[in-house]
Every structure is written in C-alpha cells, then in structure tokens.
Amino acid sequence: MSTVFVALGANLGDPLAQIRAAQQALAALATPGSLRHSPLYHSMPMGPADQPPYINGVSTFDTELAPLALLDALQSIELTHGRVRKEERWGPRTLDLDMLLYGERHIEEERLTVPHYGMKQREFVLYPLADLAPGLVLPCGTPLDRLLHDCPTNGMTRLSPQ
C-alpha cells in the first residue's frame, strides 16, 4: 500500500462540480477511510490567458493500485468528466488529475513521471498540498515549506467551504 497525492484542476463547464465529482470518484481508488481533500482554490490559468480561471485542490489517499494502474484509473475519471486528451498544453480543461507523489517513489516511465515534474513551481499545487501535509518532505529531500517560501500565490484565493 502507498500514500498518494493527486492534484485536481478544472476550468470548463462547472469547475466546482467537476472537482467535487472527481473527489467522490477518488474514493473508489482509496483504501477505506484514507481519502482526504485540501481546501479548494481559485487560481489564474498557467497557460494561455484567454481562458477561464481554475478551481484547484489536492487529494491524498492510500491505495493498493500500482502506479500505472492508478494513472489509468485517474485518466478514466478524467474521460468520464469530458476530458479530451488532444487539448493544447496548459489549455482549458473540464478536469485534470495529476499524480504528484506515490509514496517515496521516483518513477520515470514513458507515461508517468513521479514526483510530478512541475509541482515544485506551481502555487495551485503547493499550497493545497501544504494544507494536507504541512511538514511534508519530498522524496528528493526538499521540505515543502522551503518551496512555499519561494512560491508566490499569484493572486490565488481559497474558496469558502461549501
């Protein structure tokens, strides 16, 4: 069994509803009682500026799934929620689920790189991750609080609990 962290993001359709539905779908991948979600955040798009703002968060859970099986399951959830894989890089999405961490493992596969390649620079990943695991040290040995110190919020705001 491994503890995983998954980033969630959406900015098309009803982003909040998409994120909430994805959070519920993650329960099927988690060992019972292990699923937790960060607060959600409103953030500006990382890519083209002519797209709507995002809703972002992070979920963590324990899973028995192997890394590639988990990736397949996450991509299946994305497809169920209207994700089209031929989208532009950093373009708008109905749902984006990115595996950030899989235990302490370093994974370099054609389809999967863990820790996630961009997580150290993305405020919409680091701040929700810190909500769930404030004392986290990444598998490379970098403390999360050091990354937060060097990462501005870029206008990101926490959504009110619903």
Q: Has 89 been annotated as catalytic?
A: no
At 133-161, the pLDDT tens digits run: 999 999 999 999 999 999 999 999 999 77
Model pTM above 0.75: yes
Mean pLDDT of 79-86: 69
Q: Which CATH class is domain 2-158?
A: alpha beta
Q: Tokens at residue 27, please?
A: 């329960």
**Is position 50 annotated as part of the catalytic site?**
no
To the query of whether residue 145 is one of the catalytic residues in this protein, the response is: no
* Annotated catalytic residue 83: yes
Answer for the pair 128, 57: CB distance below 8 angstroms, yes or no: yes
Q: Which of 96, 122, 146, 158 is catalytic?
A: 96
31-40, 56-65, 80-89, 116-125: least confidently modelled range: 80-89
pLDDT band at 162; cut points 50, 70, 90: low
CA-nearest of 116, 118, 78 to 100 is 116
Residue of 10, 14, 100, 103 lying closest to 58 (CA atoms) = 100
